[in-house]
Amino acid sequence: MRDKGLEEQTKKVASRDDFPITWFDKITLAISHSTKYIIPIIVAVMMYEIFMRYVVFKPTMWVNELCLWLAGVIYLVGGIYAMRLRCHIRIVLLYDWVPRSVQRIFDLISTIIIVLYAAALIYGGWADAYISFTSWERFATFWDPPIPATMKPLSLICVGLIALQAVNNLILDWKNEKEIQYDPAKDLK
């Protein structure tokens, strides 16, 4: 009897691949999966810095800034991917105990808040991001990369994509009987 209840529980738990994929999800996945190739670049650049610093005794001036720049891109795009997988921070103390009809209300409220926040952030940051990009604002260091010129607009784009992904998730999850949660323990098997 106990095993049967466990089986029913595990049936409700979905893997990352069980969520339906819409055209917007394909865009999110394409951006996210292409961004993952930046990580080996960061590793290679850091290994180059270690070699130059401790073997050749000629440290570089640009490695740290390049790695921060690339890691910033990964961080921003990671937010879109986390929203796609529904693994963002959620307070489930009350959410898990209420019926699905109330969960839908909670989902609607949280999506509205995400969209309003994204709209306010984009509205408030648009002028600064535009000026940074058009003037090709630089980091004001020895290497002087255009980090502000690229990261300010990218942060607004990613916030907008996160809001669109939240709306997409709301539409897809609306029909579900009970919220499908991803079980991280499946990754350990």
The answer to whether 39 touches 32, Cβ cutoff 8 Å, is: no
Q: What is the pLDDT of residue 1?
A: 47
Range of the domain at 181: 2-188
**pLDDT tens per residue, range 1-28:** 445 554 454 455 444 456 678 999 999 9
- Quote the longest CA-to-CA distance of the chain: 69
Q: What is the pLDDT of residue 138?
A: 97
Q: What percent of the chain has pLDDT over 70?
A: 84
The answer to whether 178 touches 97, Cβ cutoff 8 Å, is: no
**pLDDT tens per residue, range 44-83:** 999 999 999 999 999 999 999 999 999 999 999 999 999 9
Q: What is the pLDDT of residue 72?
A: 97
Q: What is the pLDDT of residue 182?
A: 54
State in Å, rounded, how far the first CA of the chain is from the last one: 24
Q: What is the mean pLDDT of the chain?
A: 87
d(CA 80, CA 28): 7
Percent helix, strand, coil in the chain, to 5, is 75, 0, 25
The model's confidence at residue 180, banded by pLDDT at 50, 70 and 90, is low
pTM above 0.85, yes or no: no
Per-residue pLDDT averaged across 105-109, rounded? 95
Q: What is the pLDDT of residue 184?
A: 54
Per-residue pLDDT averaged across 141-165, rounded? 97
Quote the number of domains for the chain: 1
d(CA 180, CA 169): 11
* Residues in contact with 58: Cβ distance below 8 Å, sequence separation at least 6, in sequence order: 52
pLDDT at 185 over 70: no
